[in-house]
Amino acid sequence: MTALCSALSLPLFAQGLVLNDENLRTDLNWLNQQGVIQISTSTWPMSGDEIQRALINAQVQNRTQQKVIDSIKDALERQNQTAKLGLFAESDDKNLPQNFADSRKAQYVGNLEFNAGGTNWDARLRINAEDKKQIESDHDVNVEGSYLAGKLWNQWLIAGQIPTYWGPGHDGSLIRGDASRPVYGFTAQRAEQKAFETKWLSWIGPWQYQAFAGQLDDYAAIPHTKLLGLRLTAQPLPYLELGASRSMQWGGKGRSESFDTLWNAIKGNDNFDNGDLDKSNQIAGFDARLNLNQWLNVPMSVYGQYVGEDEAGLLPAKKMYLAGVDYSSTVNDLPYQVYAEWADTRTNGHVDGISYTHYIYKDGYYQHGFPLAHALGGDGQMVSVGGDIRFDPMNRLSGRVLFAKVNQSNRVINHAFPLDDDIKALDLTWTHYVSPRIPLKINGWVADSDRRGNDGGASIGVEIPLDKDLFK
């Protein structure tokens, strides 16, 4: 089967934004490790233009690879349905560190979503009604997940409240994750990650940036605190991706928001003990993913990330670490992926109460008390082993086993895990597609906690398109 056959079977979907989706990222990474496509999956939201470009150039060698491409096409079509209804219910609070694209924020949620777009614009209105909120907010009805975007010269310019994720980790990012509610703001990123055409810069390979500026909600320590960030990624070699990220809390009520103050913060002139001189709370770091298929002919990758609070010698200091390995293959023509991941949000391996905290921005690197970075929050450790298998086009199973030590410094700003605790858990999700356009997700978990004892629960969620061809 040739790449041309794959390209000819592509759908004409709206080329807008693609929000965080665990199953979609798994399928894209599976194709990456099989050598079928080359695409960065470490910066979310992604662009539909880039995903389509990768699929057009796919080097499909067998029917299993084509099935995974078909799964991606179905996911993109679902994201761009004109209107749909979503329902979610959970038996109890799920007191586990959230993994990528886990959007639960309340025990009961109903939402209506409307999508529209074209080649150079994209819009989504998502109205959510929540009951028994797990992450507090001032409103029972919100528009989280809504945005308006326009494309100009291969740049998407986006305004809205959408989740962000920076890094290669399966279960978390040390600098920008999606465990908190999305932050209101503006985002800019490339539509297609094509390499520079000039020979002087073409060696960088496919590259992407994402710039963000927004304002934190319900940040009591300094109301109206701004959140700014920039991420750059490049693939100088087909099997190597490098990333650099920087994020800062700046300004807010009673703090200078002048251009000079911002410029000094960007330059890094803000590492002072004097509150009048300290301009911001900054986190920065690097990450990488290496595909070993190039040398070992094994569909396996290793990845890592480290970030630091503050800086020393122009490099991140007071460091936190994440590392992992994943493997993508087939068994009886069923595509599967497995991974193992370790994360440490202590400071240089010590519990010092520094990670994700600041003496001016006293609510820390959190929003509504939930981490803007790794779901553990500060001074935590976690080892997780997980995977995903697709039994047929209508059924897939994913899950993980995790062992976590959370909030070992007992920082009260971490509302997700307010006390030092040890957690062991099994977390499983079965996704059944009633039709290619109607995903039904059933999640179940069992956990053992030093603080909460034995725990368990289940949730169910469904998305239903609101048009005449319901089961198409």
Domain coordinates of the chain in residue numbers?
A: 17-465
Q: What share of the chain has pLDDT > 90, as a percent?
A: 80
Q: What is the DSSP letter of 267?
A: H
Average pLDDT score over residue span 295-317: 85
- CB atoms near residue 384 (< 10 Å): 23
E strand intervals along 226-356: 226-237, 240-250, 280-291, 300-309, 311-312, 315-316, 319-331, 334-344
Above 70 in pLDDT, residue 424? yes
Above 80 in pLDDT, residue 335? yes
Above 90 in pLDDT, residue 276? no
Average pLDDT score over residue span 436-465: 93
Nearest to 217 by CA among 184, 247, 244: 184
Q: Share the mean pLDDT of the chain.
A: 91
Above 60 in pLDDT, residue 368? yes
How much is the pTM?
Answer: 0.93
Nearest to 434 by CA among 397, 469, 462: 462
Helix (H) or strand (E) segment spanning residue 22? helix 22-33
Please give the CATH number for the structural domain made up of 17-465: 2.40.160.130
Nearest to 45 by CA among 73, 20, 13: 20
- CB atoms near residue 267 (< 10 Å): 9
Helix (H) or strand (E) segment spanning residue 56? helix 48-56
- CB atoms near residue 254 (< 10 Å): 8
Average pLDDT score over residue span 185-195: 96
Lowest-confidence pick of 267-271, 326-330, 444-448: 267-271
* CA 331 to chain CA centroid, nearest Å: 28
Q: What is the DSSP letter of 117?
A: E
Average pLDDT score over residue span 225-251: 96
Structure tokens at 331: 């068994």
Predicted confidence band at 3 (pLDDT cuts at 50, 70, 90)? very low
Above 60 in pLDDT, residue 391? yes
Q: What share of the chain has pLDDT > 70, as a percent?
A: 93
What per-residue confidence (pLDDT) applies to 398?
97
Average pLDDT score over residue span 103-122: 93
Predicted confidence band at 78 (pLDDT cuts at 50, 70, 90)? confident
Average pLDDT score over residue span 107-122: 94
What per-residue confidence (pLDDT) applies to 35?
92
Above 50 in pLDDT, residue 372? yes
Grouping H, G, I as helix, E, B as strand and the rest as coil, residue 132 is: strand
